[in-house]
Every structure is written in structure tokens, then in C-alpha cells.
Structure 1
Amino acid sequence: MSVGFLSEALIKASDELSGPGQQGSAAARVYAGLRARIISLELLPDTVLSRAEIAKEYEVSQSPVREAIQKLEQEGLVVSYPQSKTLVTKIDTEHAQKSQFLRVGVELEVAKALARAGDPALLQPTTRILRMQKLAGEDCDISEFTALDRLFHLSLFQAAGVGSLWQLVSGCSGHIDRLRTLNLPDPGKMADVLAAHERILEAIAGGDPQDVERQVRDHLSGTLAAIPAIRAAHPDYFEAED
């Protein structure tokens, strides 16, 4: 069974935890589709979004498109100008830093809770996802690797019994996720991510809260540390600095 086939089912499950409102609704489907394309930079900053074209593409009416756009606006991923147009926003590094502050705090508590639990069975799904991510890395499949990266972290939340908190983390991470999209193709980055994931699992299994905190902090700080280099390589993707 291929890596892609296996992860497709997991991605669908994770989307059910992070979409807006009633899952399976037209608005949720449009939102998830547009958000994924913005995060992957298929839709670049300053791209004009036509609501009529979106409605046609997703075979829905204007109402769910409007709901999806509103949700994306709340996350700061698009901006709408009355009687004019809707644009994909540029990457806001201040927003990315604030959302990362939230994520680090929540994910530290998740990892520490798992370390205190001392139950190896809780980590089995995450370990399987990591094996799949290694295969994606060997194939240099960035899209697959990114999806499995998200699922790795989601599975830790689920193992700790707080899977619904992923909605909170995911819903405010659009800008940092775009930074990761730009950072991941850098030489050695995928190998660094895999090594960090292995260290996090080893620290949790070892039951050492201090080691857990060190490994989670080190891993989640990597993209923020790379912001100057990412901005220098892609200046047009970013909001102007004050």
C-alpha cells in the first residue's frame, strides 16, 4: 500500500478536526480547499480571489463561498475590500510569532502529559506516521511530507486526549504554515525535521519532562529562526517591515 494512499485517509480524518462549523458542509469544503492552496502557496500572496469563479470551481452557490472567505479573513489569510476584490494576504511575521507562541505553550503541555502517562501504546500511531514521513522524505515528496508533518503533531494531541485543541492551534497557524512551506525545500530541512520528531518521541518515551520541553522548543523554533533568510529569498511574499 502506498504512502500516499495511507496518508490520504489520515489527512481526511485530520481535516474533520480542523474545519469550520459543521463538517461536510459546502462552506467547510470550500474553506478547507482554499486554505490548503493558500498554505501550500499554490495561491500566492496578492492573488485575487473571484467568488464567482470559486463557486463554479467547487460547484456551490455564493453563500458557502462567502462563509469560507469570512473564515479565512478571521485567520488573516485573505482580505476583502467592499465592492472591490478579495486578496490573499502577504505573510505577516508578527502574526506568525504570536501563533507560534500559542502553539509552543499548548504542544509542550501535550508532550509532557504523554511523558507523564508512561504508556508506549499511546505513541504507536505517531510512530507509524513518522515511518511514513521518512518514506516521503526519501522520495523528496514535499507535499506528502508536509501533510504527514501535520499529522505527526495532530496525533500527539489525539494521544493526549485533546485532539479538539488542534482546531485552536491549526486555525491560527496560517502565516507560520506558509513560512514552513517556504522553509521546507531548503537543503537538509526535511532530515532535520525527521530527526527532531524522533528526539521528541524518544524524550516522551523516556518520561523526562525537561528533555521533552527542550526537544519540543528546539523543534518548533526552527522556522522562526529562519525568517530573515526566508524573507531575503522571497521578499514579495511578506508584508513590509515597520
Structure 2
Amino acid sequence: MDRKLRGMLVVIPAHDEEEYLLGCLHAVERSKASLHASHPEITVHVMVVLDACTDRTAQLANGFSAEHPGYSVLQVPFGNVGRSRAFGVAQGLAQLPASCSPATTWIACTDADTRVPEQWLEEFAAAYRAGADAVTGTVEPDRTELPAQLYRRWRQRYLLAPHHPHIHGANLGICAEAYLRVGGFKALAAHEDVDLVDRTRHAGYRVEATDRLHALTSGRLEGRLSSGFADYLSALAGEGATAPAAR
């Protein structure tokens, strides 16, 4: 199978992420440049959705977008990551050229505290052309932010392999056609990524889990939303061997 890909939309929600945002955006820009070198025909647009930010996140996002074509910055008061992702997707799809139909557009999701690999968008494009309707990648906490013992504990519980069970909004992609047909992200305060992937699978779409897409995310123990990756790391630190299974 070799499906045509015309557009890629990257959506990045952010809530008070001044410490990490530029690292995220520079990583996305490197991935954009790598994709453009091999597939200049694919239009890439990046939507940064600033949700109820009170720090310098907006200033940094606007400064970056002013210097790098293909970025849009939106400010919203939602206080809800699912709604922020959905809004970014809706606005981004509307900004893509008419040639980028839902059937030829890929939505790539990450988080503002995450650095995606350089081949991120190329791997998504290859998976789509090979028949995948959605792809779930893996993440790794920045070990420089974690005690060595906690990092080892996390690694023992995390399956870094093909067909892994993990779903992270920080490293997730889906064909726009499938996304729209299953109803997109719901306005959930947490696990909106898991909900979307579950509905995509149940609708009969092909969801591929791969460790070829491996992103570096924050190792902080206090996150920006309840029940997120930071809360999992915090539980792992506090509960030791009795901590929950890896996300």
C-alpha cells in the first residue's frame, strides 16, 4: 500500500511551559526540515495552543513563530488538554491548503515538555503510506531530571518494543480522515489520548504501536495536569516496587 500524503499538522498544547517550550519547538523544527529534505511536496503546519498560560510561554511561542514559517500560536482559556488538542486540530486543518484533504493529511501530536526525534515526521509519513491509520510511539523521561534509581525503576516497567501497550499524547499520530470519523479528541482533563486511540481501534482502523518513534519528555514529578505522566513518575517514586504498571 502506498497512500498519498499532502499535509501534516503538528499540534502542541502548552500550559505554563516556559522551561521546556523552546526545546520542544526546536526539535519539531528539525523534524520538519528533515521531512522537507526528503518530501518537499508535503505541507507541514504547526499549531501551538497556549491554554491559560500565566508565565512567559506565550512570549516564547510568539517569538519562535515570528522567526520560523509554518507556525501558528493560539491562546485559549480552556484549562483542559483534550479541548486544547481538539481546538488546535480544528484550526490547523482549516489553515492547510485545499489540496490537503482529510484522506491525505496526517495529524502529529506532542507536548510542550517533549522533544521528538529528528525522523519523527518521516516515520509518521512512512507508516501512513504503509497503511497505518494511527501510530502510538514511546516516550522516555529525561534522566537528567530523575534520580538514577527512579529512572531504573521506570525503565524496568516500561516496554520499549514493537507492539507496546503505551499511549502518549506526547507521541501520537493519526490520519485526519480517521480522526474526524471517530469524533476527534474529547474535552477530557486527562487520558484524552487513550480515549481517541480506543475509539479509533473500535472503529476498525489500523493502529500501529512502534518503538521506532521514541521521544524524550520531562522527568518532572509535578505535572501540568492530573493523572498525567508526571503523576505516574511521582507514584513510582513514592511507592517503589508496588507502583502501578508503566504508562
More helix by proportion, 1 or 2?
A: 1
TM-score, L = length of structure 2: 0.29
TM-score, L = length of structure 1: 0.29
